[in-house]
Amino acid sequence: MARAGLTAERLTQAGAELADEVGFDKVTVAALARQFGVKDASLYSHLKSSQDLKTRIALLALAELADRVSAALAGRAGKDALEAFANAYRDYAREHPGRYAAAQLRLDPDAAAASAGGRHAQMTRAILRGYDLTEPDQTHAVRLLGSVFHGYISLESGGSFSHSAPGTQETWSRVLDALDALLRNWPAA
Amino acid sequence: MARAGLTAERLTQAGAELADEVGFDKVTVAALARQFGVKDASLYSHLKSSQDLKTRIALLALAELADRVSAALAGRAGKDALEAFANAYRDYAREHPGRYAAAQLRLDPDAAAASAGGRHAQMTRAILRGYDLTEPDQTHAVRLLGSVFHGYISLESGGSFSHSAPGTQETWSRVLDALDALLRNWPAA
DNA sequence: TGATTTGCCTAATAGGCCTAGGTAAATACA
DNA sequence: TGTATTTACCTAGGCCTATTAGGCAAATCA
């Protein structure tokens, strides 16, 4: 009987594509096995568990996203960098909703350490170089930016903004204006 | 054989408590049946499906949360209202992580219409009465506040802020300061 | 008290996760 | 090139969750 040529990498890749098509929560070992025309049990030679599969997809997404953000950020500073950064996240979430959902998976400490999480944190800090903030305000600002972007993308994709005017694109760009203004005039403690 | 006295309401309440104990995603029909010492199938006289159970818990959480926020907001305006509002959300999420997660469930249009979602939107707008914003900036600001609070609570509860100094409480209060400053000086388009 | 409703039961199907142990295909090696 | 080893995939089976169909007994009502 011909072999399907499974590897952890191919399974992870296929799992990521499946996630974008049907939703991250519907990525199951069984569904993935179906895609490759093999039995469920066969995947366990390559994956430790269903959780392992999900973690791998999350790590893939975090790395892809970090690459994109990094590319978007190259050569930019100030508001230009802020916008590029924010748009890179939002665009990725729109193009790859399943992967983006995977990137929100809570990782165990080992996986988190091996993830691109550190790159994301560094890049967020890099944006602030264009603004005049010192510690601990820089950390507060990093956390605020993370919250706004994550929150906005999450609410927007959940449809929370789709029931009222104006359009979300307009709000997005006004929110970026507002954040830029805030970072330029960060209130003293 | 004595009856357990199940009703949709008791099941929803117990499901909400279970969610806070073990996580919303671990609330299953089977687990709930176990708690009441009945068979899984028995719950289907009261619930349409597992999805129905989750929706009911979500509606319960949204209503409870709206009540809390409403109480917190009474008699306050300006920054005072902003802080009360934000703290009401954050405190609820900390006290009831499972219910808070349930409140993020994406509801179908029918359930959404019957939910306390409208009250939440109204209350967010109410905060802005203390600031000098007109449409469409008011809507932009509502969306920004929703994004920040949702994003912050989500990241904080996921542990994203727990690996670095300073503490999240300090950041939280500086973020509220920053939002207050931003709303008082909202940049013109 | 008898009739009706209904709450909880048993039984059974289907799907997902996962382990143990087998067979055949690919690879290494002599 | 034939043989030995590794390994990719399979069968079988156990356990968990979701859900439906149909039955009996407890509660309720006439």
Pick from B175, B149, B157: nearest CA to A142? B175
Would you state the pLDDT for residue A2?
A: 67
pLDDT number for residue B3: 73
Residue B152 forms contact with A (CB below 8 Å):
yes
Judged against a pLDDT cut of 90, whether residue B77 lies above it is answered with: yes
> Are the Cβ atoms of B143 and A175 closer than 8 angstroms?
yes
Rounded Cα distance between B57 and B38, Å, is 20
DSSP A74: T
Q: H or E segment at B43? A: none
Provide φ and ψ at A5, rounded to 5°.
Answer: 70, 40
Select from B151, B164, B186 the Cβ nearest to the Cβ of A148: B151
| Mean pLDDT (chain B, rounded) | 95
Two tokens at A10? 């191919």
Residue A127: its pLDDT value, please?
95
Decide if B181 touches A, using CB distance below 8 A: yes
- Helices B137-157 and B168-184, axial angle in degrees (round to 10): 180
d(C-alpha A62, C-alpha A101), whole Å: 10
**Residue percentage of chain B with pLDDT more than 70:** 99
CB B81 within 8 A of CB B120: no
B95 in A contact zone (CB under 8 Å): no
B146, A112 contact by CB (below 8 A): no
What is the per-residue pLDDT for B109? 92
Task: Determine which helix (DSSP H) or strand (DSSP E) holds B29, and give its type and residue range.
Answer: helix B29-36
The per-residue pLDDT string of chain A (189 residues; one tens digit each, 9 = 90 and over) reads 567 789 999 999 999 999 999 999 999 999 999 999 999 999 999 999 999 999 999 999 999 999 999 999 999 999 999 999 999 999 999 999 999 999 999 999 999 999 999 999 999 999 999 999 999 999 999 999 999 999 999 999 988 998 888 999 999 999 999 999 999 999 998
At B62-73, the pLDDT tens digits run 999 999 999 999
What's the N-to-C CA distance of chain A in angstroms?
A: 70
Q: How far is the CA of A150 from the C1' of C12 (A)?
A: 45
Structure tokens at A43: 């995947």
Is the Cβ–Cβ distance between A38 and A16 less than 8 Å?
A: no
**Strand, coil or helix: B154:** helix
Mean pLDDT of B158-173: 91
First to last CA, chain B: 70
**CB-CB under 8 Å, B165 with A136:** yes
Query: Which residues are CB-contacts of B53 (< 8 A; sequence separation ≥ 6)?
Result: B11, B12, B15, B27, B29, B32, B43, B47
For residues B133-158, average pLDDT: 96
Contacts of A158 in chain B (CB under 8 A): 104, 106
Query: Least CA distance to A141: which residue of chain B?
Result: B175
Is residue B66 within 8 A of residue B119, CB to CB? The reply is yes
Torsion on CA atoms B24, A157, B163, A134, rounded to nearest 10: -150
3-state helix, strand, coil in chain A (%, to 5): 75, 0, 25
The angle at the Cα of B20, spanning B19 to B22, to the nearest 5 degrees, equals 65
User: What integer pLDDT is reported at residue A165 of this predicted model?
Assistant: 82
**pLDDT (mean) for B161-175:** 92
For B8-184, CATH number out of 1.10.10.10, 1.20.58.100, 1.10.357.10, 2.40.50.100 equals: 1.10.357.10
* SS3 label, residue A93: helix
Asked whether the beta carbons of B126 and B119 are under 8 A apart, the reply is no
Which single residue is written with the structure tokens 């409870």? B64
Confidence of residue B1 (pLDDT cuts 50, 70, 90): low
DSSP conformation class of B40:
G
